[in-house]
Structure 1
Amino acid sequence: MTTVGILGGGQLARMLALAGVPLGLRFLVLDPSAESCAGQCAPLQVGGFDDEAALEAFASKVDVVTFDFENVPASSAQWLVERVPVYPNPQALAVAQDRLSEKTLFRELGIPVPAFAAVDSREGLDAALAEIGTPCIIKTRRFGYDGKGQFRIKSLADTDAAWEALGAQAGTVGLIVEGFVAFDREVSVVAVRGRDGEFKAFPLTENWHVDGVLSASLAPATRVSEAMQVQAVDYARRVAEATGYVGVFALELFCRGETLLANEMAPRVHNSGHWTIEGTEVSQFEAHLRAVLGLPLGEPAMRGVACMLNWLGEMPDANAVLALAGGHWHDYGKSARAGRKVGHATLRADDAVALSQALSSVGDALSRQAQVQPVIARLAEG
């Protein structure tokens, strides 16, 4: 029986393990915390990602290694790849860990991106603002996610405050300034590439964020032309082939009219693809496992329409979702904490009208109308 090693023990590792059980797989999770929620579903080895002894023990017990957490040190991934197959490869991981490397790769591949410039000093920030203009966003090149590690500069009057907030990190994780994009909406394409180069993509998904954290995802995205769908998938394919990527990843995009601009890449299964568990023939989690094991990828064909709602801080009452024929509940087994991703729900229906009704019902029951209304409005637009 094949044992899959997962670096990182969060909800993504948990859902990978749940998807792998029907495939007859075993799992071993490595995470620094004994409380990691994946440990409720799979054997857990407690250890640091940069602890060579822990990595040695981990590698000796698994047949292949993957990630649920992109900030695993690329050096650790490289150490492992000399002992056991690792997917995605350390080079792809390293590119995705650094916003400057990532944006540079996109540009080299002919994928449109917002204007950007590296910043390593206060003078460098002034130069970047002179080049890019305001409004813009300054971000850490590494480790920031879900809206963390960034500061929006609305005008030059915000320059000092921005440097005070993030300047100390210029010499450690690095900084990047990105031009502000007046986008119409945010979309993502979740794609998968196998060991043999087979490539497939899930339908384009529209996403809504609150304070930088994903709130809801709708699939398939409405009002998407065939040309836009093809373009998004082509961009994802370019990235996957250029990096020799194996597994599932997400390419997040800004949509402005018919133009798509790349925001960032997530080298792992992704929050905006959680709806695939019930919404497609093969979920992103099963597809990822198939890819890293060298199995046929399967078909990411949709089952009707679907919406994922993220639960942050604490879990609401499940009854309103479970009462629906297409309602599916996912509790990550985490303790409540402000802003923490603790679970999600997916509502699946045969058509947009039925999905709108289900969303309205859940919104009323859970006092979540502010969360569901943007999705309902988009469905009404067709």
Structure 2
Amino acid sequence: MRVLVYGSGQLAQMMYLAAAPLGVIVSAVDVSNETVVHPVSKEPTGVSLQNAIEDANAITVEFEHVPEHLLLDADKSGKLFPNVASILAGADRVREKALLSKHEIPNCPYLIITDVTDLDNVIASLGERVIFKASRDGYDGYGQWRMQSADQLEKLKSEFAKLDLVKVPLIAERMMQFDREISLVGARDSEGNVSCFSLAENLHFEGQLHVSVAPITDLSDSLQSQANEIFEKLATAMDYVGVLAVELFQCGEELLVNEIAPRVHNSGHWTQQGCDTSQFEQHIRAVLGLPLGAVDVRGVSAMVNIIGCTAFSRDLIGIAGAHLHWYGKEVRTKRKMGHINVVADSHSHLGNKLAQLLAFLPVEHFPELEAEANRLKNYTK
């Protein structure tokens, strides 16, 4: 069986590695030049895109910003999972907000900004603390602006006046007072079967994910059930097939949807060692119509992103339960170079292992790790 993945980055690479034991061959498409490449070496395979589409049993994506004409061509084959509408909803915050509103799924109060004059209503509608997000092509904190007080509005108006807000509108969202950021990664198959992983707790720095811990601390059955219900409602509404990530704000016992990602997701990398079935294998299973795998956790896991650096000691894999995943990229500021998964039998033991990990890493590139290690070490529930 063959799967063709649009996008040729680390997520396609990890799908390839997860699919190989199943006897599934994964190829990738470099969407910048529409060339079919090997997902690990990135070398062209010599197979035309049209032939790769014809040979594939299923076609999928590793990121939502695939040029729309490529998605439409793939969709004609009847093999594209998830469907085009789902992918476009993840790529465009205006579509995403419309989806959430239509299905009455709780999310942050917002306005759509298509003209600078729309900003005159922002404070009255949303308050003084507002986050502005580009509706397309924003990720890892890029394409975002924060307003902490009303006196910043005029400066933002001047900045936004330089943008084409008709072509790429802004979403203005109330900056919520939330307890923490969590996410749910799950899968739905073509028959409507749904399977969700445990909730993950996510720590960000400058808009970029640095550490995920799963299961979350203070996880209740009601919180997991609420997240699962949101996931199933969304996935069913979109007639979704594959792995879907839902990023959430926890406000007391209420969950608000922040964003969705129609693909395997950074906050689900912990499943590679922390679950019976990884998110990557689960996605391959779903898009090919194979049975979904079990998602039971193996203890408690953390995923630590390696961002913008190569200067660390690979001796870290000597820590029991530590696993290195390297992407083979050239180093660049804020670029995800790889990640480390760490598995332990409790949150406190996980904290001890994360503290050990610090000895092998340049601390300046891991600004959230020490505090998180200390928090978990002292967690006794």
Same fold (TM over 0.5): yes
1:94 is displaced (CA, Å) by 1.6
For residues 219-258 of structure 1, what are the structure 2 equivalents within 5 Å?
Answer: 219-258=214-253
CA-to-aligned-CA distance 1:304-356 (integer Å, 9 cap, x gap): 11000000112342434211120100110001111100000001112223211
C-alpha contact (below 8 Å) 1:30/1:45 kept by paired residues: no
Match of 1:330 among 321, 325, 328: 325
Match of 2:194 among 190, 194, 199: 199
Counterpart of 1:151 in structure 2 is 145
Supply the RMSD in Å over aligned alpha carbons: 2.2
Counterpart of 1:51 in structure 2 is none
Relative to 1, partners in 2 of residues 1:374 and 1:250: Cα closer, same or farther, differing over 3 Å?
farther
Match of 1:374 among 371, 375, 379: 371
Relative to 1, partners in 2 of residues 1:44 and 1:263: Cα closer, same or farther, differing over 3 Å?
farther
CA distance in 2, matches of 1:169, 1:231: 38
For residues 1-382 of structure 1, what are the structure 2 equivalents within 5 Å?
Answer: 2-32=1-31, 39-41=39-41, 44=44, 55-167=49-161, 168-368=163-363, 370-379=367-376, 380-381=378-379, 382=381
CA distance in 1, matches of 2:143, 2:219: 32
Relative to 1, partners in 2 of residues 1:256 and 1:3: Cα closer, same or farther, differing over 3 Å?
same
CA distance in 2, matches of 1:376, 1:156: 37
CA-to-aligned-CA distance 1:95-134 (integer Å, 9 cap, x gap): 2222122122223323211110111111012223331121
Q: Which runs of 5+ in 2 are unaligned?
A: none
CA distance in 1, matches of 2:38, 2:232: 30
Instruction: Please say which of residues 326-335 and 110-119 is displaced more in the overlay.
Output: 110-119
1:162 is displaced (CA, Å) by 2.2
Instruction: Please say which of residues 314-323 and 4-13 is displaced more in the overlay.
Output: 314-323
Identity %: 37
Relative to 1, partners in 2 of residues 1:272 and 1:44: Cα closer, same or farther, differing over 3 Å?
farther
CA distance in 2, matches of 1:376, 1:129: 39
1:40 partner SS: coil
- The AA in structure 2 aligned to 1:61 is D
1:169 partner SS: coil
CA distance in 2, matches of 1:354, 1:182: 30
- The AA in structure 1 aligned to 2:246 is L
C-alpha contact (below 8 Å) 2:31/2:67 kept by paired residues: no
CA distance in 2, matches of 1:276, 1:164: 44
1:33 is displaced (CA, Å) by 5.5
C-alpha contact (below 8 Å) 1:138/1:175 kept by paired residues: yes
CA distance in 1, matches of 2:314, 2:74: 44
1:184 is displaced (CA, Å) by 1.1
1:141 is displaced (CA, Å) by 0.7
Q: Which runs of 5+ in 1 are unaligned?
A: 48-53
TM-score, structure 2 normalization: 0.93
C-alpha contact (below 8 Å) 1:318/1:329 kept by paired residues: no
C-alpha contact (below 8 Å) 1:28/1:62 kept by paired residues: no
C-alpha contact (below 8 Å) 1:281/1:300 kept by paired residues: yes
- The AA in structure 1 aligned to 2:226 is Q
TM-score, structure 1 normalization: 0.92
CA distance in 1, matches of 2:122, 2:62: 34
Relative to 1, partners in 2 of residues 1:58 and 1:38: Cα closer, same or farther, differing over 3 Å?
closer
Relative to 1, partners in 2 of residues 1:319 and 1:45: Cα closer, same or farther, differing over 3 Å?
closer
2:230 partner SS: helix
CA distance in 2, matches of 1:300, 1:318: 31
